[in-house]
A and B are shown apart, each in its own frame.
Chain A
Amino acid sequence: MSEFILNVIHRPEMVPEYSATVTGHGKEEDIGNKKLLTESLDIFKTQQRLAHENGLKTTIQMTYASLFNEEAIQLAKDDHETYGDEIALSLLGLPCEQFREKYKTKDFCIWMFSMEDKKRIVDDVFGKFYEIFGFYPESTGSYYLDADLISYIKTAYPSVKCAVATCWEEGPKAYHTCNNSWYTLFDGGPWAPWIPSKQNTHAPAANREEDSGIVAIPHLSRDLLACYDGNGSNFGTHPQNVLRGMIYDSKTWEYPYLYNLIDQYRAQEKYNNGYAYNMMFVGPGWMNKMGRWEAPYELLEKSYSDGCKYYGQLKREGKLIDMTMSEFADYYRQKKSYTEPECALWRDILYGSDKQLFWYTDPYMRVGVNMDQGGAIVDLRPYAAKLRWEVGIGTKHVQDASYPFLIQEKYRAGYFTHYAGEGTVRSAKLCYQGEEVDLCLCRTKAHFSREGNTRVLTLDPVTIEFSDLTVQLQTKEFFEEGSGSVKIERTILSMSDPAAEVELNEYMVACYGTTEYPEDMTGILLTCEGETKKSIVYEYKCREESLADASVVSAVVPPIETKVSMTQTGGGTGYVREGYAFSPMFTLGFKKKVTDKEVYATWLNLERAN
């Protein structure tokens, strides 16, 4: 039986984000402005009404500011009584006169404070909540919660079992979209609920020892193709985000994309044991009475109303289960095991292409596979390292909370580069009599299946045309639960000359980083191992080593405590290649002569380096 779960979350944010730039333009800042407070509360009431009218229960995430407002408190109590809404506590919405006076800062993102201040603020906010409601919340959240913060909250307030803990691919792209002024840098996390590890929020726990004690949910359910290549804040289950992206007919005010997005998430149950998930969480600033950018209030209100209506319709049809966050945490703990991956086979629903991606997340890796590039891996996050990455003032990463990549086709090119050098990608090349074809240029489609604990992607065969040889090749990719490996198998289905021999070059070009800009590669250790061992310590010298019938080729990347390697079924020559300053990459690979009907497999393996 398939189950599509929905969390609708509202927060009475008394001083909404954007109020200073929209409502307050041309006025001196006044966060105690009574008109602003009244309007913010009105928006919250409207959101609650629209959800309830459509039979949906909500999670009310009280903000610090709202804990000083009698009306907001009473509304939460009443809606809890009447509709079963959960009263929870958000770490968003900190700004208010009381907060400014106490903490003497305009910072408002909880993960960016010093650890000392995080603890002070959490104690203050949770204490105030207890004082008012007589219990501690079971759910909390922000746009991001770092591992140390989650750990503190769980230790001090063990009732907490669910939290909004990241926003998928909200990183440099969002920063750029906001004219380099919006510092939410947290790429590289899961897109669907997960159990964060104690070491790193983005990396799921592999077992009970690593379990942070909470179920995390993403802030919004975002388009897994559009967000990867564009501003994430245009393509999510946030109706006003869809308006922000101008993805509506300006004459009819219709936005089928919003419903397509919800429905594509519903379709993910096929790949996740009959379970799919959606989250809608719209801050009051997005339903500003003055309108938001070119969208008037009437359109903002209509879009939220329509979003609630569609979810309500699905519920009435028995196709959706609405839950509060804490109810969802209990459901998730029952439904999922630590090692069960989250999978998404995702197609373009906006730009009119047939482009298809596959996303896979488990405690050891997050992988993005692009069928428009022959099934190449175009994004790779080595969760196996469980990298400890402290965030906030006083740490090395004041703002940057992204989980580092080894491969990221947008930030470090992919197949295509300008003039010189290479971009990050895991693909293969076929070489024959001086001609070379990369599978990145063979567009295809994938089909999902499951064999025991292994998820399998079977790609439609592709044809490679050399000047006097045609080769038909099929790729299958295997994701074995808990292994930290991806097996890629190529089968030569046919050759126009059955006696021909073609060189198959299985390769991975990688580096590390969290942004578009290169990091120092010095000291990365590249090794070929077999009967002997050959190594290169990275010095940008463009060197290469190879070893016939190598068993493993590997790279140890000290700054992210990661070892990545490739292994093979046998018979290939392993090689490692150092880059140079204009191409700060490394390459691992195997070259193997293959013939008609031959099957050759390689594995990409991730582990913690120490």
Chain B
Amino acid sequence: MAQSGKGKLNYRCPSCFMRDLDIDMFYDKEKGEYYCLRCQFTGTEEEVLAGNEMVRTKYKAMRKRFTKFDFD
């Protein structure tokens, strides 16, 4: 089995990101999957991108433009 490398982009592990960890993932070309060195996450690019969307669910106001910053 050949060594793993980086993918076309440098994806982070979505599971680790959810616990505030930025961990680069590596790509296993034989299995066609990204995997995390720190946790047990493995996934295709599609699954990684879906995970990234889950990350964003905590940002409920991410798409909102605020015009008032006090409660006066």
Contacts and interface: CB of A to CB of B under 8 A. Distances in A.
B46 interface: no
B62 A350 contact: yes
Interface string A173-211: 100111100000000000000000000000000000000
A346 B70 CA distance: 8
Contacts of B9: 291, 293-296
Nearest to B48: A294
Contacts of B71: 347, 354, 356, 445-447
B29 interface: no
B5 interface: yes
A260 interface: yes
A292 to B, nearest CB: 7
B19 to A, nearest CB: 9
Q: Which of B10, B21, B55, B65 has the most CB of A within 10 A?
A: B10
B17 A291 contact: no
Q: How large is the interface on A (under 10, 10 to 19, 20 to 34, 35 or more residues)?
A: 35 or more
Interface string A7-21: 000000000000001
Contact of B56 (A25, A246, A348, A445): A246
Given A293-B11, A294-B9, A294-B12, A256 B69 contact: no
Q: Which of A173, A254, A260, A270 has the most CB of B within 10 A?
A: A260
A26 B67 CA distance: 47
A332 interface: no
A2 to B, nearest CB: 14
A247 interface: yes
A26 B62 contact: no
A365 to B, nearest CB: 23
B70 A260 contact: no
B30 interface: no
Nearest to A346: B69
B64 interface: yes
Interface string A267-304: 10010000000000000000000111111100000000
A224 to B, nearest CB: 11
A26 B63 contact: no
A350 B59 contact: yes
Contact of B20 (A25, A177, A257, A291): A177
Contacts of A250: 49, 52-53, 56
Contacts of B17: 246
Given A250-B52, A294-B52, A445-B71, A256 B64 contact: yes
Given A293-B12, A351-B59, A173 B69 contact: no
Interface string B4-23: 01100111100001001111
A294 B9 CA distance: 6
B67 to A, nearest CB: 8
B66 A260 contact: yes
A448 to B, nearest CB: 8
Given A177-B21, A347-B69, A445-B71, A247 B59 contact: yes
A264 interface: yes
A26 B56 contact: no
B31 interface: no
Contact of A263 (B12, B63, B66, B70): B66
Nearest to A347: B69
Nearest to A226: B59
Contacts of B62: 247-249, 256-257, 350
Interface in B38-72: 38, 48-49, 52-53, 55-56, 58-67, 69-72
B34 to A, nearest CB: 11
A97 B67 CA distance: 49
Contacts of A21: 24
A352 interface: yes
Contact of A345 (B20, B49, B63, B70): B70
Contact of B55 (A25, A246, A447): A246
B23 to A, nearest CB: 6
B60 A178 contact: no
A301 to B, nearest CB: 15
Given A256-B63, A267-B69, A356-B71, A176 B6 contact: no
Nearest to B8: A291
Interface in A404-448: 445-448
Interface in A220-253: 230-231, 244, 246-250
A141 to B, nearest CB: 25
Interface string A141-174: 0000000000000000000000000000000010
Contact of A352 (B48, B60, B70, B72): B60
A558 B63 CA distance: 48
Nearest to A26: B5
A247 B17 CA distance: 13
A259 interface: yes
Contact of B65 (A179, A259, A270, A347): A259
A347 B59 contact: no
Nearest to A356: B71
A349 B49 CA distance: 24
A259 B24 CA distance: 28
B72 A349 contact: no
A267 B70 contact: yes
Interface of A: 21-22, 25-26, 173, 176-179, 230-231, 244, 246-250, 254, 256-257, 259-260, 263-264, 267, 270, 290-296, 345-354, 356, 445-448
Q: Which 8 A-B pairs have the closest CB atoms?
A: A352-B60, A445-B71, A267-B69, A352-B61, A256-B65, A260-B66, A264-B69, A293-B10
17 contacts: A177-B21, A231-B20, A231-B22, A246-B52, A247-B62, A248-B62, A249-B63, A250-B52, A250-B56, A257-B59, A257-B61, A260-B64, A264-B66, A291-B10, A295-B9, A351-B60, A447-B71
